[in-house]
A and B are shown apart, each in its own frame.
Chain A
Amino acid sequence: MTAITRSDVEHLARLARLDLSEEELDHYAGQLDVILQSVARVSEVAADDIPPTSHPIPMENVFREDVARPGLDRDIVAAGAPAWEDDRFRVPRILDEE
Chain B
Amino acid sequence: MAATASAMEGDLTRQNASVLARSIAEGEVSAEEVTQAHLDRIAGVDERVHAFLHVRGDDAIEAARAIDRKRAAGVELGPLAGVPLALKDVLTMKGVPTTCGSRVLEGWRPPYDSTVVERLKAADVVILGKTNMDEFAMGSSTEHSAYGPTRNPWDLERIPGGSGGGSAAALASFEAPLAIGSDTGGSIRQPAAVTGTVGVKPTYGGVSRYGLVALASSLDQAGPCARTVLDTALLHAAIAGHDPRDSTSIDASVPDVVGAARRGDVRGLRVGLVKELSGEGYQAGVSQRFDEAVRILEGLGAEVVEVSCPHFEYALGAYYLILPSEASSNLAKFDGMRYGLRAGDDGRHSVEEVMALTREAGFGAEVKRRIMIGTYALSSGYYDAYYGQAQKVRTLITRDFNAAFEKADVLVSPTAPTTAFKIGDKVDDPIAMYLNDIATIPVNLAGNAAMSLPIGLAPEDGLPVGLQIMAPPMADDRLYLVGSALESALLDTWGHLLIEEVPAL
Interface membership of B345, Cβ < 8 A = yes
| Whole-angstrom distance between the Cβ of B182 and the nearest chain A Cβ | 15
Contact with B along A13-30 (1 / 0, CB 8 A): 111111111001000100
Of B111, B244, B345, the residue contacting A73 (CB under 8 A) is B111
B372 and A53 contacting across the interface, CB-CB below 8 Å: no
Q: Chain A residues near B345: list those with CB within 8 A.
A: 82-83, 92
Q: Chain B residues near A20: list those with CB within 8 A.
A: 360, 368
A18 and B395 contacting across the interface, CB-CB below 8 Å: no
Chain A stretch 37-69: residues in CB contact (< 8 A) with chain B: 38-47, 50-57, 59, 62, 64
B112 and A72 contacting across the interface, CB-CB below 8 Å: yes
| Whole-angstrom distance between the Cβ of A66 and the nearest chain B Cβ | 13
B431 and A56 contacting across the interface, CB-CB below 8 Å: no
Chain B stretch 321-370: residues in CB contact (< 8 A) with chain A: 321, 328, 332, 335-342, 345, 347, 349-357, 359-360, 363, 368-369
B390 and A55 contacting across the interface, CB-CB below 8 Å: no
State the CA gap A96–B389 with chains docked (Å): 40
Instruction: Given the known inter-chain contacts A13-B372, A19-B360, please indicate yes or no for A51 contacting B431, CB distance below 8 A.
Output: no
Query: Nearest residue in A to B346 (C-beta to C-beta)?
Result: A92
B357 and A19 contacting across the interface, CB-CB below 8 Å: yes
Which of B14-22, B311-319, B417-425, B458-466 faces chain A? B311-319
Instruction: Given the known inter-chain contacts A15-B379, A16-B328, A31-B369, please indicate yes or no for A38 contacting B317, CB distance below 8 A.
Output: yes
A-side interface size class: 35 or more
State the CA gap A83–B336 with chains docked (Å): 9
A45 and B314 contacting across the interface, CB-CB below 8 Å: yes
State the CA gap A48–B436 with chains docked (Å): 31
A28 and B359 contacting across the interface, CB-CB below 8 Å: no
A54 and B385 contacting across the interface, CB-CB below 8 Å: no
The B interface is mostly helix, strand or loop, or mixed, namely helix
Interface membership of B255, Cβ < 8 A = no
B389 and A42 contacting across the interface, CB-CB below 8 Å: yes
B-side interface size class: 35 or more
| Whole-angstrom distance between the Cβ of B491 and the nearest chain A Cβ | 34
A52 and B392 contacting across the interface, CB-CB below 8 Å: yes
Query: Nearest residue in B to A62 (C-beta to C-beta)?
Result: B247
State the CA gap A54–B487 with chains docked (Å): 36
Instruction: Given the known inter-chain contacts A39-B321, A45-B396, A53-B395, please indicate yes or no for A18 contacting B371, CB distance below 8 A.
Output: yes
Instruction: Given the known inter-chain contacts A46-B396, A52-B392, A55-B248, please indicate yes or no for A19 contacting B372, CB distance below 8 A.
Output: no
A18 and B392 contacting across the interface, CB-CB below 8 Å: no
B337 and A89 contacting across the interface, CB-CB below 8 Å: yes
Q: Chain A residues near B337: list those with CB within 8 A.
A: 82, 89, 91
Interface membership of B411, Cβ < 8 A = no
B317 and A80 contacting across the interface, CB-CB below 8 Å: no
B391 and A52 contacting across the interface, CB-CB below 8 Å: yes
Q: Chain B residues near A36: list those with CB within 8 A.
A: 373, 376, 386
Q: Chain A residues near B392: list those with CB within 8 A.
A: 42, 45-47, 50-53
A56 and B390 contacting across the interface, CB-CB below 8 Å: no
B314 and A38 contacting across the interface, CB-CB below 8 Å: no
Q: Chain A residues near B355: list those with CB within 8 A.
A: 17
Interface membership of B52, Cβ < 8 A = no
B354 and A92 contacting across the interface, CB-CB below 8 Å: yes
Instruction: Given the known inter-chain contacts A46-B392, A72-B111, A80-B108, please indicate yes or no for A12 contacting B350, CB distance below 8 A.
Output: no
Not counting A18-B363, A35-B430, A56-B218, a sample of 16 additional A-B residue pairs whose C-beta atoms are within 8 angstroms of each other reads: A12-B372, A17-B355, A28-B372, A35-B431, A36-B376, A51-B392, A51-B395, A52-B392, A53-B394, A57-B447, A72-B111, A77-B111, A77-B338, A80-B108, A80-B109, A80-B110
| The 9 nearest A-B residue pairs measured at CB | A56-B447, A46-B392, A52-B391, A82-B342, A19-B356, A39-B317, A19-B360, A53-B394, A62-B247
Could you list some 14 contacts between A and B, CB below 8 A?
A18-B356, A18-B368, A18-B371, A39-B390, A40-B386, A42-B314, A45-B392, A46-B393, A53-B394, A53-B445, A57-B205, A59-B247, A80-B109, A96-B350
The chain A residues found within 8 Å of chain B, CB to CB, are 1, 4, 8-9, 12-21, 24, 28, 31-32, 34-36, 38-47, 50-57, 59, 62, 64, 72-73, 76-77, 79-83, 89, 91-94, 96
